[in-house]
């Protein structure tokens, strides 16, 4: 009798032999998850600039983004920008030594505290006309296409994925035309 016909489900082989090993594995994974609260990602096209993100994203933000997309009120770019803004802890600069320094320590005009996606940050990146956090993200990243790979890395980390999904199968090649 096959599994589809209601037969026995085959045993799944695991690398864990005992209940104690399984318990230890789960506890070890929990410690790793608790320690993995921040992620620093590079900004494409700006070799020394980094963004440190936190994992504390509100479900309400995700739900709002889904509803906005469904109603056609926001495009995917707006959703990605909102996610990046909500998760941003601070913009950082990497020294040649590899040390990360807060952008606000480099540019005193940003004032005290962490530099995030604000009009003041946009002004540093030669976009003084930026009035919103979304416009500030665009100023930092310089172009909409440079946001996508960065946002995919952020999404993969936030969703506890190993790495971003590869969309190469979905892309049309030049041979398809």
Residue 10's pLDDT is 54
Residue 172's pLDDT is 40
List, for the chain, all residue ranges whose pLDDT scores fall below the cut of 70.
1-17, 30-36, 58, 73-74, 161-177
Number of domains the chain contains: 1
How far is it, in rounded angstroms, from Cα 133 to Cα 102? 18
In a domain, residue 60? The reply is: yes
Residue 67's pLDDT is 81
Percentage, residues of the chain above pLDDT 90 = 44
Question: DSSP 3-state assignment of 20?
Answer: helix
In a domain, residue 127? The reply is: yes
93 φ, ψ to 5°? -120, 135
In a domain, residue 75? The reply is: yes
Question: DSSP 3-state assignment of 168?
Answer: coil
How far is it, in rounded angstroms, from Cα 150 to Cα 132? 20
| DSSP summary character for residue 40 | E
How far is it, in rounded angstroms, from Cα 85 to Cα 36? 19
Domain holding 48, by residue range, is 38-163
Q: What is the pTM of this model?
A: 0.69
Secondary structure tally for the chain: helices H, strands E: 7, 4
In a domain, residue 23? The reply is: no
In a domain, residue 154? The reply is: yes
In a domain, residue 33? The reply is: no
Residue 168's pLDDT is 45
Show the CA angle centred on residue 136, arms to residues 135 and 139, nearest 5°: 90
């Amino acid at each position: 009798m096959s599994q589809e016909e209601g037969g026995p489900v085959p045993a799944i082989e695991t690398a864990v032999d005992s209940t104690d090993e399984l318990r230890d594995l789960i506890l070890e994974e929990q410690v790793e998850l608790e320690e993995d609260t921040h992620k620093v990602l590079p900004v494409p096209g700006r070799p020394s600039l980094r963004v440190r993100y936190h994992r504390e994203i509100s479900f309400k933000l995700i739900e709002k983004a889904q509803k906005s997309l469904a109603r056609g009120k926001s495009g995917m770019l707006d959703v990605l920008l909102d996610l990046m803004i909500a998760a941003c802890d601070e913009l950082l600069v990497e020294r040649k030594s590899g040390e990360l320094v807060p952008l606000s320590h480099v540019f005193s005009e940003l004032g005290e505290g962490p530099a995030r996606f604000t009009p003041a940050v946009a002004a540093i990146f030669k976009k003084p006309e930026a009035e919103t956090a979304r416009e500030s993200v665009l100023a930092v990243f310089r172009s909409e296409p440079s946001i996508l790979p960065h946002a995919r890395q952020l999404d993969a980390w936030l969703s506890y994925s190993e790495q971003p999904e590869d969309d190469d199968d979905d892309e049309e090649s030049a041979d398809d035309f």
